[in-house]
Structure 1
Amino acid sequence: MAYSERSALFVIRDITQRKQTEANLQRSVKDNRVLISAIPDLLIRMKSDGTCLSVVPGEHVSQSKMAQGYAENVNIRAILPKKEAIKRLYYIRKALESGRLQVYEQRLNIQNKYHDEEVRIVPLEGDMVLNIIRDVTARKRAEENLQQANEELEQRVAQRTAELQREKDRSEQLLRNILPISIAEQLKQSGESPAEYFEAVTILFADIVGFTSFAARVEPLELISKLNRIFSTFDQMVDDYGLEKIKTIGDAYMVVGGLPLPRSDHALAIAHLALDMQQHMAQQIDDLGNPLQIRIGINTGPVIAGVIGLKRFRYDLWGDSVNIASRMESQSEPSRIQVTEATYHCLQGQFELEKRGIIAVKGRGEMITYWLQDRQSQNIPKI
């Protein structure tokens, strides 16, 4: 084709697609920049020897302590303390050798403040890795605060549990002091302890002679102290013989043998106790220097025993045998032990007993009673 001198050649090319691609690329670069700036991490491309090749901090970390020191061509040994630099090189080598992501945490002291970082090391081509460092100080502080709170809570729970256990132990001990052990266990397990009938037990009542006049002459605290010392000794004797103290009323003292656990030697044990109580009282003197005397009565027979009350538990005995034992004490004499004929038959041959004779007992009429005087030589108790 021939062209004249005044002819012109125009070439028109459609570059719409290229323009769209450039626009898309610009948008992608912009988006990537926005994305990188939003990442809460410090991105460092690094060689295997720890030399930084490029540092890309997000906007909000570019001025933080975490980014300080990192720059192109600076080695990690010049940035981190020796121990942490060696650790970083170890994980870089491990990432390159395994081809797998390595993650660890480190704590740095920056300007006298502890700073926690999570370090992720991603293996790249050749001998390069990407370090992704995230500030986890807030998270670690929250975890530590939570752990401390949990430890304090556990400590408080443990202390409270120990306090409750001590209270429980004290309550159980108090219950055992008030009630026989087997009855206390029944109440603890089932909440109730039904009354029981016992065919044969031996009951002792004791009363300090002249206690009323003695009480009128001394101060109340001195009186209670004296009575407490006497009854505490009696309590130990009761425990030694495996008997059950039922109650004290003023200066009166009540004990039973043969319940709540039946035993065949209940009368013998009570007799030994009575003689020991008598001997102990002979060593006690009042404010005037006179010996204190005790009056004791004993009876053997059937009773009903059980716990009464809902709030202030009390283990008690009921039956005619109890009333007779009480009469034996009230109609006894100072420093003497009076026993019924039923008890006499249980003790005969092992204790020295003297027949008192027939006495009138209120509510029962005439009864034959005996004085318990001593043990026979072959019947010395082994406590």
Structure 2
Amino acid sequence: SQLVLGAVLLSVVPEPRGQAPGQDLGLAGQLDTYSPQDLSQVCAHQTYPTVAPSVEIQDGETVYEKIMKNQTHRYFFRSYNVTTMNQPDQYRKLIINLEPCKGIVYLFVRKTRQCYPNPYSCITRLGTDLERRTKPCAWTHFMSETDRSRDGTPSFFEVPLSSTKYYISVYATENSVYTLTVLADIGAFPRPGSSGRILARQLRELQVQLSWDPATFNPRGISDVRQYWVYSSMLLEQDDRTNMAVFMRPDKIMNTVCGLINNTDREYMRVPAEACVGGMCNATIDGVITDKRYVFNVVVESNRGYRMAYAGLIMRTDWEVRRQAASDKTLKVIGAVSGSVLGMVVIIYFLMLKLYG
């Protein structure tokens, strides 16, 4: 009887004034008339013809894209993963990794709410005598170095995961190719040991040994190293670095995963993680040519499939084949002394013949 009475009471409750049957009320009993905010005036740069439509990038996804000069690609990332949000502060972070495969690209990031970062606010009149590059850029919380000092280098950001939404802009100053990775589970991403340093020594005339520290993970226990990809490429005489921060040039990048793939036929070899002994990994490169410059690098791959390149190394093979026991200068001195002694012996011989008949 109580259930019947409750149903009758609900059936006779009148609709609030001004509300149509079945219509929801918003805050404070007002009609919910929410509509998307018009950002066309505030975020006018998002409608430029050089700005691409926004694309959502998923957690852990890596995108590979081509981009034209003075163009901007936009990406939207959101995460409502409660487990990730409940991590301690030192682990509650977001990795945003932009790697150029060829060319020059800059990364701009804004969190919480729009507008998207505006590269055109700080890079103006690109490619002209009036080109200017200033800071800061509008609508930007984190950004790459845009003063040309690091053109052609990757931008690796590990920012606090203090928001559920991030707005990303990728801008190119020349025709370029890039990869972009966004990852909230930072413990799955490998980090090259000793800041990516690689050591090399020549064992024999045609053989070089590479050594590097194993990759690490932070926090530990999320993933492990699956294998290392070893790359080797002989450089041409005109292959020079633009500056010490770039390896090698924007048109020949040798310290990003896709850059190594593009500039080498294939990897020289793969080294499984189990082959690293005593806190050091080693690989032997055979068939190097004497008196040539080579670039060597290593890419670490985790069990989750994420890859990261080491810093790379340039080495000139200077193995010298000596076919004589002493230097040319020493041999010349010995020859001169020997000739003088022989001459004196001959002279003394003839003098003795003259004296004693």
TM (norm. structure 1) is 0.24
Please identify the structure whose Cα radius of gyration is greater: 1
Structure with the greater relative contact order (CA < 8 A, sep ≥ 6): 1 or 2?
Answer: 2
Q: Which protein has the bigger helix share?
A: 1
